Structure 1
């Protein structure tokens, strides 16, 4: 079937009538909701190009990319795209996902065919000054699916995934190293008994505001941003829309004055929710010790209780996450010239 590309600038172009149906059919989480793509694009460091792949008019997949031009100032993009640069394919606002996906779980050969069509169309859209594509979060076995003969690979932080097949949290504890298990249980009991601390687990809209989430994310974002073409921190309008919806879970820690001192945001999903972010006040600024580890206990407890297959724990702190039972999936960035 003939492949056509629908290219969109989420800042200005209206949402395709079938976008939400496409997102749902592909099992993509809330960060791909079009209003969030728009909020992300307005605050991004470079123009966002969203491409819907269509066969005979039917949407079969999508690719999100940033157009990293040669001009240094974002203001230069106001009137249009730059004349030269590279295309940076990545998921908007979330390093635990890829920037490309399809409906129906096509096999490797079919994925390669669709991505070849994307790159051919992309070259026509961007023009001759654009020199290639950087694909982020490439898993083992995927480089062969990505178009191009010359490919420069840069290993990046692995992705941690924790399966949660257990009937209760004690079964998770049982599989951990004894020292880790004992420390997690002890800290969880201590924090639960702290009269000056409240712990909430549930829909984010009931527990936190976008402004509170932004304040706690800021320092953590700076510590753990990607080293290759780093992404900008998520803007306040984005976080306002994100936490107000129905697809985000929060683990929120508040002190006796109801001040938010720790927060984990989880992108809900029927099988594998994604841990989007963690942020906390340091103890010297009024926070509590050990909230980071306690947050994992609450996450696992929630996932088991909700019947999830597992949790995508994200990137960073790989060995800590391995000690909690997570598997580490190798990841890389792949630069491919046109």
Structure 2
């Protein structure tokens, strides 16, 4: 990148750049990268959340999202005013909303998914911004193509949870997808779908995010978050302010399960739309002891497939967790890696 200009932005204080909408469209960044959502997330974060844009005369050429982690970072302490020079710390490079996607994009990413650009362009920019206290990075969601670029002496690279991606090419309906599955799974799904179709006590609908109640959605997501309480330094996904901003984005859909007699939300999933590869971002459901229903997750999976096929999407990213179950539902598991990169001086 010749004559590169660098904007290190804090969404809590910096206004949305004039180039942001065009950058998102070019990079294919989903709703969780909208500036309003980044702002809501940053205010709820445990760490400063710098968003760095690299530009040249032709406009933005790269963007990286990160969390600035120091010895002062605590789970139950909100972020201090900014990522300051002089503090000892490191950058956790991760997508702002979905751990199923890299936290960076470069126009000239090359064959390694942009890892070389990250190391050669982003690291010097952040050294200049953060000073000698910037001692390392944790780079998440590195694909297999980026392993050579991110490997090296003193670097620790480990495989993390695979990402489940369901490819939909060749399927004209949900039935076509089911027919591709193993007999036992197919029979189980058909029974689940018939049961829900015949049950008037639960209404299932897929709506624009703006039609969903963020408070009710937050309540059901809390049940799921308690099961996966394993990432202590990033914003929790069930903050109502964050969900309010996210659900207002035009490229968000919500699959809802509502108890018809009371109007109570039993389960909900968010879909971050994309012309080719939408992401199933959140999932939460009440437990049976709290009035929830069995097999809601499997029904949601089928509803997401039906929605994606009807809207001409080529695949759906179903993220991490429960990968063995997702594999039985036809998903391919894409290996992902995390790399700890010390900055030696």
TM-score using structure 1 length? 0.94
Question: 3-state DSSP class of the match of 1:181?
Answer: helix
Q: 1:308 to 1:128 in 2, by over 3 A?
A: same
CA distance in 1, matches of 2:160, 2:13: 33
* Deviation sequence 1:221-266 (CA, Å, 0-9, x none): 2322555x55331221110111122111111000121100011111
CA distance in 2, matches of 1:10, 1:226: 25
Partner of 2:35: 34
Question: 3-state DSSP class of the match of 1:157?
Answer: coil
CA contact 1:225–1:231 (8 Å) conserved in 2:
no
CA distance in 2, matches of 1:205, 1:252: 13
CA distance in 2, matches of 1:109, 1:253: 38
Q: CA deviation at 1:92?
A: 1.0
Structure 1 unaligned regions, length at least 5: none
Partner of 1:14: 15
CA distance in 1, matches of 2:14, 2:289: 46
* Deviation sequence 1:135-170 (CA, Å, 0-9, x none): 011111213334865320122111000001111122
Matches within 5 A, 1:99-138: 99-103=103-107, 106-108=110-112, 112-113=116-117, 115-138=119-142
Partner of 1:260: 265
Q: CA deviation at 1:102?
A: 2.2
Partner of 2:228: 224
* Deviation sequence 1:252-287 (CA, Å, 0-9, x none): 000121100011111001011000011001122111
Matches within 5 A, 1:59-138: 59-73=60-74, 74=77, 77-78=80-81, 81=84, 83-103=87-107, 106-108=110-112, 112-113=116-117, 115-138=119-142
Q: CA deviation at 1:337?
A: 0.5
1:326 aligns with one of 324, 331, 335 = 331
Partner of 2:147: 143
Question: 3-state DSSP class of the match of 2:145?
Answer: coil
Question: 3-state DSSP class of the match of 2:154?
Answer: coil
CA RMSD of aligned residues (A): 1.9
CA distance in 1, matches of 2:189, 2:221: 24
CA distance in 2, matches of 1:106, 1:138: 14
* Deviation sequence 1:116-149 (CA, Å, 0-9, x none): 1110111111111221010011111213334865
2:236 aligns with one of 233, 237, 240 = 233
Partner of 2:55: 54
Task: Out of 316-325 and 164-173, give the one that drifted further.
Answer: 164-173
CA distance in 1, matches of 2:43, 2:322: 30
Matches within 5 A, 1:158-307: 158-165=162-169, 166-206=171-211, 208-227=212-231, 230-234=233-237, 235-256=239-260, 257-307=262-312
Q: CA deviation at 1:202?
A: 2.8
Q: CA deviation at 1:308?
A: 0.5
Q: CA deviation at 1:72?
A: 4.1
Task: Out of 166-175 and 110-119, give the one that drifted further.
Answer: 110-119
CA distance in 1, matches of 2:88, 2:186: 53
Question: 3-state DSSP class of the match of 1:246?
Answer: coil
Partner of 2:3: 2
CA distance in 1, matches of 2:159, 2:330: 23
Question: 3-state DSSP class of the match of 1:92?
Answer: coil
CA distance in 1, matches of 2:309, 2:78: 47
Structure 2 unaligned regions, length at least 5: none
CA distance in 1, matches of 2:62, 2:263: 44
Q: 1:76 to 1:200 in 2, by over 3 A?
A: closer
CA distance in 2, matches of 1:106, 1:153: 20
Q: 1:109 to 1:209 in 2, by over 3 A?
A: closer
Q: 1:105 to 1:307 in 2, by over 3 A?
A: farther
